[in-house]
């Protein structure tokens, strides 16, 4: 697997530094002056309920969505002032981003490698290795349009990794991925961080974040409710419990809610 270039120094700026990020869609504010620092070398989880602003925040942090206000820096580079430099040090797997679907998985990786101006022989070797570890070798010549949702997630991760970036930003990387591939991805991410990389990933699966990540931020309503090490945040409980405490039980169905949804006799 390609290892990220080592870059860790005491005084180095954080892997991601978001300051006062705001996003408004047609006047509706969905991210509210959000500030967050992700230390280098972390495996950082971003969790929050549906509509919390995770994808919007990650999109602003990676140069995919222009903030209404605020700044985003990756490894010290201002994403919106110097997007080319910022994108060169990042690998991004956005949620729902359309890939070049008429290319096969192998062609897509070669294309991404060429866009990254990598030597063709490196791209070829890394592509085959990534396809193998992600269990896509048998479908390497299938067009991405014919991939399942889980296969699309995996080829998108491979495309994000191919240039051995120093920072990986992954929106729901495990969604729709089978357990065997999930295990392979966990191993890849742990090894990547152990060799100097930083991962920021969003997920809805608390157990996954608790078992994999070392730091976590809980986001709701476009604001950071808590950010800490997983150990500190879950002290005395699980991330699942802590998440429900932080986000509130307002989203839960009241005991007497949906009373009509049951095995009651249906009217004839």
Total residues in contact with ligand ATP, by rule CB under 6 A:
10
The beta-strand segments (E) located in 179-252 are 198-202, 215-220, 223-229
Q: Do the Cβ atoms of 45 and 203 come closer than 8 Å?
A: yes
Q: Which stretch binds ligand ATP (CB under 6 A): 43-51, 109-117, 154-162, 223-231?
A: 43-51
Distances (CA, A) of 251 to 56, 112, 143, 245: 21, 41, 40, 11
Give min distance, CB of 204 to ligand ATP, in A. Answer: 6
What letter does residue 16 receive in the DSSP assignment?
A: E
Q: Which stretch binds ligand ATP (CB under 6 A): 49-57, 102-110, 117-125, 246-254?
A: 49-57
Query: What are the phi and psi torsion angles at 158 (to 5°)?
Result: -60, -40
Determine the Cα–Cα distance for residues 233 and 239; give it in Å rounded to an integer.
7
Q: Applying CB under 6 A, does 25 fall inside the site for ligand ATP?
A: yes
Q: Which of 53, 63, 94, 165 binds ligand ATP (CB under 6 A)?
A: 53
In the shown chain, the binding pattern of residues 194 to 223 toward ligand ATP, with x for contact by CB under 6 A and - for none, equals ------------------------------
Q: Applying CB under 6 A, does 51 fall inside the site for ligand ATP?
A: yes
Q: Which residues contact 117 (CB under 8 A, 6 or more apart)?
A: none
Q: Which of 40, 54, 110, 163 binds ligand ATP (CB under 6 A)?
A: 54
9 vs 50, which CB is nearer to ligand ATP?
A: 50
H/E segment holding residue 47: strand 43-47
| Chain positions contacting ligand ATP, by CB under 6 A | 25, 30, 48, 50-56
């Amino acid at each position: 697997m390609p290892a990220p270039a080592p870059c860790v120094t005491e005084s180095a700026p954080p892997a991601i530094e978001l300051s006062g990020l705001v996003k408004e869609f047609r006047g509706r504010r969905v991210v509210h002056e959000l500030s967050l620092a992700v230390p280098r070398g972390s495996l950082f989880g971003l969790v929050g309920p549906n509509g919390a602003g995770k994808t919007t925040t990650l999109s602003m942090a990676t140069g995919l969505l222009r903030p209404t206000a605020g700044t985003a820096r990756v490894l010290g580079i201002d994403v919106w002032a110097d997007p080319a430099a910022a994108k060169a040090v990042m690998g991004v797997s956005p949620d729902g981003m359309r890939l070049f679907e008429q290319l096969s998985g192998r062609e897509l990786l070669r294309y991404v490698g060429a866009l990254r101006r990598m030597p063709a022989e490196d791209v070829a070797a890394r592509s085959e290795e990534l396809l193998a570890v992600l269990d896509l070798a048998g479908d390497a010549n299938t067009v991405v349009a014919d991939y399942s949702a889980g296969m699309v997630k995996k080829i998108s991760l491979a495309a994000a990794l191919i240039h051995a970036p120093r920072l990986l930003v992954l929106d729901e990387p495990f969604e729709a991925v089978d357990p065997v591939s999930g295990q392979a991805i966990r191993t890849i991410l742990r090894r990547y961080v152990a060799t100097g990389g930083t991962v920021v990933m969003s997920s809805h699966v608390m157990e996954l974040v608790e078992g994999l990540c070392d730091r976590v931020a809980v986001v709701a309503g476009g604001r950071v409710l808590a950010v800490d090490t997983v150990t500190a945040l879950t002290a005395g409980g699980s991330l699942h419990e802590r998440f429900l405490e932080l986000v509130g039980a307002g989203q839960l169905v009241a005991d007497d809610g949906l009373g009509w949804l049951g095995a009651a006799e249906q009217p004839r």
